[in-house]
Amino acid sequence: MLKFAGAAAGMATLALPTASGDGLQLGAQVEHVGFGFTDTSTTNSQRRSGVDAVDQQLTSLILQFSQGGPNDIPGTCDGDSGGPSLLPAGVAQGQQVVVGVQSSGGMASCAQETFGIASRVSSAIGAGQFITSYLGGAPVGVNAGASPRPVPAGARWAWLALATALVVAGSSIRGGLRARLS
């Protein structure tokens, strides 16, 4: 998770849900945003978005949605992992709340009738939860007001190896929006 400061005046920002909830319900329309694969390209470098319904599953940890198939339902694909699911769908970004972060899907092809899964952001909001602690300057595992311990020189290679493994693993995670999206 990155903490960014210094956005230009007038730049739209996306809000986080409150600790009391995100207002998401089964059947709600959400907007997915990403730079991943499309039906026609594995080298997408264009931001795309699409709207679909949370119609498969909604728990305290995940939201799951249908995509693809004969009805050409917009959805996510390889490379969209980490992108947001926004509520309400189709409004200005300054009015949206990040309710999910793309995690995975069940497709071999973005056009197949399948599903996508996002991790529910509200599961990490609230006292002692990861996002709240991180934004408060006390990431989970670090006591409030304490600086994180420095990594010993020898361990830096281990961290580099771990980071490299995560990047390689992340490249195979399902998660790119379909070419038919706007």
CATH number at residue 84: 2.40.10
Q: Decide if 109 contacts 95 (C-beta within 8 A).
A: no
Please indicate, yes or no, if residue 15 is contained in any of the structural domains: no
Tokens of 81: 């992992």
Please indicate, yes or no, if residue 3 is contained in any of the structural domains: no
Whether the predicted pLDDT of 147 surpasses 50: yes
| Mean pLDDT, all residues of the chain | 74
Please indicate, yes or no, if residue 60 is contained in any of the structural domains: yes
Please indicate, yes or no, if residue 9 is contained in any of the structural domains: no
**Which of 53-62, 73-82, 136-145 has the highest average model confidence (pLDDT)?**
53-62
Contacts of 53 (CB under 8 A, 6+ apart): 27, 28, 29, 30, 65, 66
Number of domains making up the chain: 1
**pTM > 0.85: yes or no:** no
Which run of H or of E encompasses 53? strand 48-53
The pLDDT of residue 70: 78
Please indicate, yes or no, if residue 107 is contained in any of the structural domains: yes
34: containing domain? 29-170
Number of H helices, E strands in the chain: 2, 7
Please indicate, yes or no, if residue 19 is contained in any of the structural domains: no
Please indicate, yes or no, if residue 13 is contained in any of the structural domains: no
Please indicate, yes or no, if residue 70 is contained in any of the structural domains: yes
Tally of CB atoms within 10 A around 93: 14
Tokens of 21: 């909830």
How sure is the predictor about 154, in pLDDT bands with cuts at 50, 70 and 90?
A: very low
How sure is the predictor about 169, in pLDDT bands with cuts at 50, 70 and 90?
A: very low
Whether the predicted pLDDT of 168 surpasses 50: no
